[in-house]
Amino acid sequence: MADATVRLPGAAPADTYLRGDLVVKAAVAAGADAVHPGYGFLSENADFARAVLDAGLVWIGPPPEAIEAMASKTRAKELMGLAPLHEVTDADLPVLVKAAAGGGGRGMRIVRRLEDLDSALRSARAEAASAFGDGEVFVEPYLEGGRHVEVQILADTHGTVWPLGTRDCSLQRRHQKVIEEAPAPGLSEELIRELHTLAVRAARAVDYVGAGTVEFLVADGKAHFLEMNTRLQVEHPVTEAVFGIDLVAQQIRVAEGEPLEEDPPRARGHAVEARLYAEDPATDWTPQTGTLHRLTVPEGVRLDTGYEDGDPIGVHYDPMLAKIVAHAPTRPEALRKLASALERATLHGPPTNRDLLVRSLRHPEFTTARMDTGFYDRHLADLTKPTPDPHAPLAAALADAHGRSRFGAWRNVPSQPQTKRYAMAGEEHEVRYRHTRAGLEADGLRVVHADARLVVLEVDGVQRRFEVARYGDELHVNATRLTALPRFPDPTTQHAPGSLLAPMPGTVVRVAEGAVVGATVQAGEPLLWLEAMKMEHKVVAPRTGTLAALQAVPGQQVTVGLLLAVVRDT
């Protein structure tokens, strides 16, 4: 959608979007007169804001001094009369290790045992440095059972500050938001006024200008200040939908010096947003890579995405593919609208969290607004139970067989059935069908129609349609993803029991201190950490036994399925 683009050579964030000098140089080269920092990377970096201003460009954001005061979460807490923990004892547990710069859940770790604190600090520092170029972290008490509620603010250069309602972002994985909505449901009018007052106070304390978000943890009916994000939030579309405004357009107007109206517009209806990630929630939210062959959603919802059909999903950046937003007069209508749109979306490519999103939106704890930040800790196993369509493999086989039965290919005597094998939801499935004079025939089911893209089967007297798409060995039958398997497995791909294979492409960032050949390890014990898609991912021992081989070394680039280690029975 850009009128002009400037390439930043490199792939890793440290070589591209964390290089403020290159971004400013690109803006100047393109003839731009202003820079909008987006909502990641350097968007909360005061030095970058100054570099933009020093280059004679307009900075579409708050003053550098306001960024410095609030972008560091340690300084923000001090400004609000709070302070991080400097010494942690058993009495303080659980605690949260948190990156002082940036956001998005990176550089955050929950610590429930004192002996895990040092490891959490090291891991959080490394992740924060990689994502934000700043490894500073701090420790604060961790409040369990709370809701993540935030207030969108918009301030101009004339002293007006708008508190634009509330948002609830309690459904999170790895401290990253998954589903967000506006307004936050079930809050008392008194609590809403308190949240608005605190948010405006935070903005005025630093002479804030532009769009920002003040985040709170609401527990026991009280608001606990978390941080202020001096930038636009990923979830800003739900506020835009409810208030009928374009926050980015407003940011630009404020940067041009235009005043806001005295009062913000009225809120109307309810909006909910789901973040569609290329990841497998059932396997510790493992990010997925590959080609996004197709992404379409039904009309009536908003789709924000940076992907087009055929784009590769790489390992260097966030695994979020899109944000899908639904707006309706009431919360139940908005939830139903979004769940239906996700369910009917066409998603061809690597595994995604689509099924998790649909089930989350329909979960009774969420629909009745009784959720908190521990939602997925409690319900992930149930929400990720595989429910593939049992007829999908047959539909895939029949579509694949279309056109293979040519004139003269049938015989008068019954032929042996054709067989095909597919992997579906982690299991192998073998299906059988026959070519006859009447067409394709499958045991137990009547084949009403079959071609390369559409199969219609009669199941228990009901005709069901299966749309089939194939990309090499990857097949998509309606919403079910399958992989075609060879008739005879390749013996060279077999690994001995206890082999630990790379679950994703990435970089080995470190190996556990006790992970040496000959050491005894326990099932689930961390052996090494991979960095992929801007986050660290723990790789654990597949079984209890002796570490017989360790082939991973820090800095090593690995591909999916690469042998990292072998654990043998003691």
The amino acid at 420: K
Q: For the chain, what are the domain ranges?
A: 13-62, 70-141, 147-383, 392-485, 491-568
Match domain 392-485 to its CATH number in 3.30.530.20, 3.90.1300.10, 3.30.700.40, 3.40.1440.10.
Answer: 3.30.700.40
| Cβ atoms within 10 Å, residue 437 | 9
The domain defined by 13-62 folds into Rossmann fold (3.40.50)
- Tokens 């936050």 -> residue: 184
pLDDT of residue 403: 52
Q: How far apart are CA 112 and CA 122, in angstroms?
A: 16
Annotate 183-235 with DSSP letters as a single string: SPTT--HHHHHHHHHHHHHHHHHTT--EEEEEEEEEETTEEEEEEEESS--TT
The amino acid at 374: G
- Close Cβ partners of 350 (under 8 Å, ≥ 6 residues apart): 278, 288, 289, 290, 291, 292, 313
Helices (H) and strands (E) in the chain, counts: 13, 35
Annotate 532-558 with DSSP letters as a single string: ETTEEEEEE-SSSEEEEEE---TT-EE
- Tokens 């789901």 -> residue: 274
* Maximum CA extent, the chain: 88
The tens digit of pLDDT for each residue in 335-372 reads 999 999 999 999 999 999 999 999 999 999 999 999 99
The amino acid at 494: Q
What is the number of residues in the chain? 570
pLDDT of residue 493: 57
Contact yes or no for 137/100 (Cβ under 8 A): yes
| Dihedral over alpha carbons 102, 535, 426, 565 (to 10 degrees) | -160
**CB-count exposure of residue 526 (10 Å: 0-12, 13-18, 19+):** middle
Match domain 147-383 to its CATH number in 3.30.470.20, 3.40.50.300, 3.40.630.30, 3.40.50.920.
Answer: 3.30.470.20
Active-site pick, 19, 106, 167, 231: 231
CATH class as words, domain 491-568: mainly beta
* 181 closest CA partner among 339, 352, 319: 339
Q: How far apart are CA 353 and CA 376, in angstroms?
A: 13
Residue 282 token pair:
């059932």
* Domain covering 70-141 assigned CATH 3.40.50.300 in the classification: no
pTM of the predicted model as reported, rounded to 2 decimal places: 0.85
- Close Cβ partners of 25 (under 8 Å, ≥ 6 residues apart): none
Residue 328 token pair:
């309706």
Report the SS3 class of residue 29. helix
Phi/psi at 254 (nearest 5 deg)?
-60, -40
pLDDT of residue 278: 96
Pairing outcome for strands 439-441 and 446-450: unpaired
Tell me the pLDDT of the chain (570 aa) as tens digits.
Answer: 788 999 999 988 889 999 999 999 999 999 999 999 999 899 999 999 999 999 999 999 999 999 998 867 777 777 777 777 788 988 889 999 988 876 767 889 999 999 999 999 999 998 888 888 889 898 988 888 899 999 999 999 999 999 999 999 999 998 899 999 999 999 999 999 999 999 999 999 999 999 999 999 999 899 989 889 999 999 999 999 999 999 999 999 999 999 999 999 999 999 999 999 999 999 889 999 999 999 999 999 999 999 999 999 988 888 999 999 999 999 999 999 999 999 999 999 999 999 999 999 999 999 999 999 999 999 999 999 999 999 999 999 999 888 555 444 445 555 578 899 999 988 899 999 888 777 778 877 899 999 999 999 998 899 999 999 999 999 999 999 999 998 765 555 567 788 999 888 889 999 998 899 999 999 999 999 998 877 888 899 999 999 999 999 998 989 888 899 999 987
- Close Cβ partners of 90 (under 8 Å, ≥ 6 residues apart): 114
Q: How far apart are CA 532 and CA 287, in angstroms?
A: 8
β-bridge partners, 537? 530
Known catalytic membership, residue 231: yes
Report the SS3 class of residue 139. strand
Annotate 41-77 with DSSP letters as a single string: TTTT-HHHHHHHHHTTPEE-SS-HHHHHHHHSHHHHH
Q: How far apart are CA 552 and CA 530, in angstroms?
A: 10
- From first CA to last CA, the distance across the chain in angstroms is 59
Which residue pairs from 243-252 have beta carbons closer than 8 angstroms and sit at least 24 positions apart in sequence?
A: 243/164, 243/165, 243/267, 243/268, 244/268, 247/152, 247/154, 247/211, 248/36, 250/154, 250/211, 251/36, 251/60, 251/61, 251/210, 251/211, 252/34, 252/36, 252/60
Contact yes or no for 250/261 (Cβ under 8 A): no
